[in-house]
Amino acid sequence: MIPFARSDRIGGLIQKILSEILKKEIADPRLKMATITGVEVSQDLKLARIYFTAPSGKQKKDAAIKGFNSARGFIKRILAQEMDLKYMPDIKFIYDESQEYGAHIEALIKQTKVEDGSDHSTY
């Protein structure tokens, strides 16, 4: 079995610590409903892309991005204290649209079933 790459292990650790930071240490109301969905760390460990979701709506998404960007220094400092790394990766926050995309595809499938008049589900 191939072991996980170091970047994958660091990404998992960042996700775990950042989730705790959001629960306990961030008071910004723009980030209260944000959820960390994944972290990708580059192979050279210089950049961590942190994916998150927030309640639907463009205003909430934009507010969450602004909230994360304003808290970036604080978050990076806490992460550096919690992790034992020689070099702390730069962090970039990216809105994860996969849940919205999945909901859109599901709505299209349901619409197709209604228009077709049949239910071909095999659940």
pLDDT in tens, 49-107: 999 988 767 778 889 999 999 999 999 999 999 988 888 999 999 998 877 777 778 88
Q: Which residues have CB under 8 Å from 31's CB, separation 6+?
A: 22, 64, 67, 68, 71
* CATH code of the domain in which 31 resides: 3.30.300.20
Residue 1 pLDDT = 47
Residue 119 pLDDT = 56
d(CA 49, CA 7): 11
Count of CA atoms in the C-beta half-sphere (13 A) of 90: 5
Nearest CA to 17 out of 76, 69, 93 is that of 76
Residue 58 pLDDT = 73
Residue 89 pLDDT = 92
Q: Is residue 102 included in any domain, yes or no?
A: no
Domain ranges, residue 16: 6-97
Residue 112 parent element (H or E) = helix 98-116
Q: Is residue 115 included in any domain, yes or no?
A: no
Mean pLDDT of the chain, nearest integer: 85
Residue 42 pLDDT = 92
Q: Is residue 123 included in any domain, yes or no?
A: no
The mean per-residue pLDDT over the stretch 30-41 comes to: 90
Q: Is residue 114 included in any domain, yes or no?
A: no
Full-model pTM: 0.78
Q: Is residue 117 included in any domain, yes or no?
A: no
Q: Is residue 91 included in any domain, yes or no?
A: yes
Q: Is residue 83 included in any domain, yes or no?
A: yes
Quote the number of domains for the chain. Answer: 1
d(CA 81, CA 103): 38
Q: What are phi and psi of 93, to 5 degrees?
A: -100, 130
